[in-house]
Structure 1
Amino acid sequence: MASIMGALRRRVLTPDMAETRLSTRGFYEKNPAARDLLETVGMSFLTGYGFAAEAAGPTDAESGLEQVPYEFRGFAYEGAAMACAVRDGLPFGHAHRVERFLTGQAARHVYMVYVGVGWAMARVPRFRWSSMYTADPLLRWLVLDGYGFHQAYFRTAKYVHEQYQEPNFPWPGKGWSWYADRVIDQGIGRATWFVAGTDAARVADIFEEFPESRRADLYAGAGLAATYAGGAGEQELAEFLQRADKHRRWVAQGSAFAASARVEAGLVTPHTELATRVLCDGMTPEEASIVCAESLPDPCVDGAVPAYEVWRTRIAERFAQAGD
């Protein structure tokens, strides 16, 4: 009975794979290789989502997730985290699935898990947001990155081309809406890498249409996507860094975040190595990951400026110094 219920739950909850096609989304197709890459990312995400939607318990999805090719496995864990969070957010969904998911192999993908929770936040009613797993005082901000990515990916005209920002964003609470908007912009920047089909020049063109005050966060998100997802060659990445101009340090910060996520998960790929070499001042992914670790605030407590922003700024400053 449990397997029948699981299969039914997977069928009901999991979005159609067609939603990952660039043609469905109306995204730019740079070339067939970039299209195949981005569509495989999307399919891997939904594959992971399906495993977790069907699983009786969160860690029961691990056997399937671990079979996803290592280049795309992090996206599958992200999708699985979204499914766990959606199930937590449903009526009577108080099983703490995301928390339990993180007791297993997902702990190596903790950044992707928090981003996946943000995807779920965009899909469940706001009165259920209190059920979302946001226990880590530092990484909880990543849910807004995931929320921003989701909105830009599925509501591209409004969030990317019309540059929409939601006034007085309600999470995580009063007094933080100014920073919530910034992290959402990081997710929008990350999604723009997909919207533009990994065409770095097109990404920069889109960013230049945004107000100057938003571009640093957008570039940080794109730097993360360029490193974690890939899709651009060395010359294209170098030109993108040049286009970023005074926001180069934020491209490097996003790239370092992506490198850290892949290093911690044991999923470093050749494109990760290429991207960090170009975007992080010649560093290897492991060296960029060390910069992230050494820049962690201690303690990780939000003050006038959130600890997450303190962390990001320290990383960006390290790369600004390296480029001087």
Structure 2
Amino acid sequence: MPTTIGSLRRLLLAPSLASVTFAGRGFPVTASPATERLEAVPQAVVCGFEWGIDARDQWEVERRLDLIDPEQRGFAYEGATMAFTILDAAGPGRGRRTRDLLDGPGKAHIFLAYIGIGFAMARLPRPLWKKVLPDLTGTPYHPVMSWLAVDGYGFDLAYFHPRRWVDEQRRPAPYPWQGAPGYFQRAADQGIGRALWFIHGGNPGQVGSAVRKFGLDRQADLWSGVGLAATFAGGCRAAGLTELRAEAGLHRAELAQGSVFAAKARWHAGHVPEHSALATEALTGLDVPAAADLADACAVQHGEDGLPAYELWRSALRARLAN
């Protein structure tokens, strides 16, 4: 059951379902069954956030999340993680809601949960960011994959404020995430690339045109984000995926790298929808199990030369996929 304080938080912080639809955001999307599935993604995030910000206890949140269709469940975990992160960071000391969720059933959705932390960062003052990342020592992919939180931050900026971050192509100020402030803007661009996939409703030609309006130094990271979104969230048929690969041109390896990360996330969560399998094959030439194995084979645990392990991991994947 909701609490009075939780309901007030929900009213103040949660966007309405209508406001995150493509029409609500004013995005140039032609409705179709594929775009309806894509549009359900931010709505699932909102539901997860409302449950997390409003619930009396964690069991109630977890039970509600379990009722979500497996295809959308990870996105609902994004929203719940976002809510718990805000509650943990804004309160006194360091809360443990997020850690408990991700040490429990959220572990299967760790990749998207990090993105949810990034959504929270977009709503918290920067001095509180030092409190947003829970201690998940011993959990696979932590803290290397925590850069997905910065990806989530970039996505949120572009999705909710496209004029500033897409049309004007502004860059967020650096932040020493995982001790690598110089990489912060690149990771945010990966999230902006994911947002472009949603903003243009999975239309390959429009997405490609949007990416090419950015500076050349940003396009590789944007294409990686596009590949992740196209594979994990769907929204495009087989012919469109072929077109998307052509649109990426010299950045096909980046597009494929994002697709591999998405395939790994789906495989790790234990549910691979048909559209994710289709996109993985089209963008990487691999089936999902092979893509997940490749992701693990290229994993890097320690950074070097000022680059975080996350980027070295991505670089190793791109090198394998370009061959």
When the two structures are superposed, what TM-score results if normalisation uses the length of structure 1?
Answer: 0.92
Alignment of 1:35-184 (within 5 A): 35-92=35-92, 94-133=94-133, 135=135, 136-167=142-173, 169-172=174-177, 176-184=180-188
Deviation at 1:143, TM superposition (A): 0.9
Q: Which residue of 1 aligns with 2:319?
A: 317
Given the alignment, which residue of 200, 204, 208 partners 2:212? 208
Q: Which residue of 1 aligns with 2:275?
A: 271
Q: Which residue of 1 aligns with 2:291?
A: 288
Contact 2:303 2:312 in 1 (8 A): no
Cα distance in structure 2, aligned partners of 1:214 and 1:126: 24
Cα distance in structure 2, aligned partners of 1:32 and 1:93: 47
Deviation at 1:18, TM superposition (A): 1.9
Q: Report the secondary structure of 1:102's partner residue.
A: helix
* CA deviation vs aligned residue, 1:35-89 (integer Å, no higher than 9, x gap): 4223211111111111111233445411100111111111101111111111112
Q: Which residue of 1 aligns with 2:139?
A: none
Contact 1:30 1:197 in 2 (8 A): yes
Cα distance in structure 1, aligned partners of 2:152 and 2:93: 21
Residue 231 (1) aligns with residue 231 (2): no
- Consecutive unaligned residues in structure 2, runs of 5 or more: 136-141
User: Which segments of structure 1 move beyond 3 Å, counting only runs of 4 or more?
Assistant: 1-13, 56-60, 299-303
Deviation at 1:141, TM superposition (A): 1.1
Cα distance in structure 1, aligned partners of 2:76 and 2:304: 30
Deviation at 1:171, TM superposition (A): 3.5
Deviates more, 1:305-314 or 1:38-47: 38-47
Deviation at 1:303, TM superposition (A): 4.8
Q: Report the secondary structure of 1:30's partner residue.
A: coil
Q: Which residue of 2 aligns with 1:20?
A: 20
Identity of aligned residues (%): 37
RMSD of aligned alpha carbons: 1.9
Given the alignment, which residue of 307, 313, 316 partners 2:309? 307
Cα distance in structure 1, aligned partners of 2:309 and 2:266: 22
Alignment of 1:2-13 (within 5 A): 3-13=3-13
How many residue pairs get aligned? The number is: 317
Q: Report the secondary structure of 2:247's partner residue.
A: helix
Contact 1:30 1:198 in 2 (8 A): no
* CA deviation vs aligned residue, 1:229-267 (integer Å, no higher than 9, x gap): 101111111111111111100101000101111111012
Pair 179,59 (structure 1): closer, same or farther in 2 beyond 3 Å: farther
Deviation at 1:91, TM superposition (A): 3.8
AA paired with 2:170? Y
AA paired with 1:314? A
Contact 2:98 2:134 in 1 (8 A): no
Cα distance in structure 2, aligned partners of 1:249 and 1:47: 34
Deviates more, 1:2-11 or 1:129-138: 2-11
AA paired with 2:189? D
* CA deviation vs aligned residue, 1:116-175 (integer Å, no higher than 9, x gap): 0011001011111111115433022111100000000001011111111134x123277x
Q: Report the secondary structure of 2:52's partner residue.
A: helix
Deviates more, 1:55-64 or 1:223-232: 55-64
Contact 1:51 1:61 in 2 (8 A): yes
When the two structures are superposed, what TM-score results if normalisation uses the length of structure 2?
Answer: 0.93
Contact 1:117 1:143 in 2 (8 A): yes
Deviates more, 1:19-28 or 1:146-155: 19-28
- Consecutive unaligned residues in structure 1, runs of 5 or more: none
